[in-house]
A and B are shown apart, each in its own frame.
Chain A
Amino acid sequence: MALVESIFREYRPSDAERSDRSAGDRLRHRQKVRELIRENISDIIAEESIIGKDKDRIIKVPLRGIKEYRFVYGENAPGVGQGDGNSKPGQVVGKAGQEGQGQGPDRAGDRPGVDYYETDVTLEELIEIMFEDLELPDMERRAMREVEAERSTKRKGYRKVGIRVRLDKRRTAKQRIMRKLASRHDERVETGEKQKSRFPFHDDDLKYRHVEAEMKKESNAVVMCIMDTSGSMDTMKKYLARSFFFLLYQFITTRYRNVEIVFIGHHTEASEVTEEEFFHKGESGGTFISSGYLKALEIIRERYHPSLWNIYAFHCSDGDNFDSDNPAALRAAKELADVCNLFGYGEIKPLGSRYYESSMLNVFRRLDAPNFQTVLIERKEDIWPSFKAFLAKEKTQQ
């Protein structure tokens, strides 16, 4: 019995390009992943460096994938594998709780895999989700995203090299004429009138305007993030702190051209750290708030003179401080408020956490400075109102 002839269908690139059949389902899946990100936004923001980073940066967010549940066997079920020829009882062949024991993608009833995968999200998208999570009003959101940088450069002389747009045609032409005049004498003697018609520009003729960034007080700002990094700051507190610092930084960036950021972590002593360290180092032990302020003052003295820089300092803590340090902290805070445009203290006490009798809010009530503001953050909804309250101080000052 002969077999009917088989049919071959040629590959047609035009068809292949047009058909993206899974697009709809991918989109739907993507929406579900986004919901998942929103549910976990506090963990992600608390773990991810977002302050002062490029908006287009792609962040790999580890996610427990959207699981498709079924009735499956648990981990006590034994499996069968193939060895290399000399397997012995007792030999270790893998790690428990790990997927990949001979399960093809189309194999039904796989053991529950650790469906852990990374999704790429742009920072922009993540910030958007954070804004949604913090329930920022839409108007404000737009204001936070748009940078209105004013130009603050000034001309300073001319250079022989530069970019095309800064070519000063007038000066270049003048230069050429000068050179032409200077060379005329020789020419007449040697070649007569012959080459008179053409006298090209030479590289030496080109003149470019030189521009320098102007150091004006109005354009420079430094954000000093001071945070208690003692062991009591958990993920939720860090998320709240980080979102607050982030908002502050974003806001400052919209108003100044040149914004620098300083992270100061402190427990009983303070040090300047990177953003990663700032949010990830957990140190045990007590807290001297004054140490953080003194460090900030020291950095200001060294690098950011108040006559050239607008200084915004904000301190996040859970309010726990050694009583003996309170007078020193108050003194340092006063000093800091004097040099800063705005200085704030945020006490983060998620609802349900233990209420410390010795809240620093009471201590700082005695500090009487027009540009000092304390806020209490109990849950993430508080962030936006307290942020606005913090900025209001500056407005009244101006």
Chain B
Amino acid sequence: MEAKKWHREYLERYQRLKEAGLPFFPNTVFKDTLVAFVIFALLAYLAWTKGAVLEEPADPTDNTYNPRPEWYFLFLFQALKLFPGHLEAVAAVVLPGMIVLGFILVPFLDRGPRRHPLTRPLGLGLGVVGLGVYCFLTWKGYSSPLTNPIVEKDPVILAGRRLYRDLKCSYCHKVSGKGGTAGPELDKVAGEETEAWLISHFKNPQQMSPGSTMPVLNLLDDEITSLVAYMKSFGVGSYTPEAPKLFAENCSACHMINKQGGDSGPDLSLIGSARDKNFLKKYVEDPSQMNPSSAMPGFQGQLTDTQIDDIARYLATLGQ
């Protein structure tokens, strides 16, 4: 019953403090009003001088737009970069969930009579560290380019996926094991074809695959681009035996795969679950274009296009 005792003592002491205090009006009201005026002045200044930006109308087919989150969410996007591959998807939900749960639990975990921060080192420590981490991640997120797979799902691929659905391709084709059986399983075969082949195939299936029962879809060029991008996004698992050798010769001095290799660059054992082949290819060609703070040299010119493509295919399978 110790807890009850301090509860009662607190209420009595609070009653005394309250009676010795000043009335809400005009004392507190004065301070509140003053603050309100300052805030309104600041708001009005920002509204008048900066206003609110209105960008171009939303274009769901635009494949170049890369949205940045509001600054107060930047920390989350930065934090997600710490989680590899599929873990990131979980973290995207779990992390905010844990923050909210933490908020809810605060009054139930910290129940003693002590209130001053200096008498609650744990509470103070957690608060300061939490705030510090928040500020640090926000700053990191602000100063680094956005390289977040959830954000950076290529919109062309998304558009392709939408078209795939709208055109009811899954009546005949399987992707991720779902769909019909009349046509081939696309995620097994389509990624291996060249873009040119896929484009021609979408224009006239019978010309590329004689005997195919696939209808001519009369697609617009944009639509074909999207669908090809979607098909190419499956493009994993078709690297040559050459690729791991190329990796060992050119990359493993800095990068580790399954504990083999150097550690001056990131461990790539799970990279395929976070990046698709095209991203990896561009990155290997010229890292600075994807991530200005990268210390990695570009391999465009060092290796042939086919070799880089091969390595990217190989990397894209890791962790899948």
* A, B bound: no
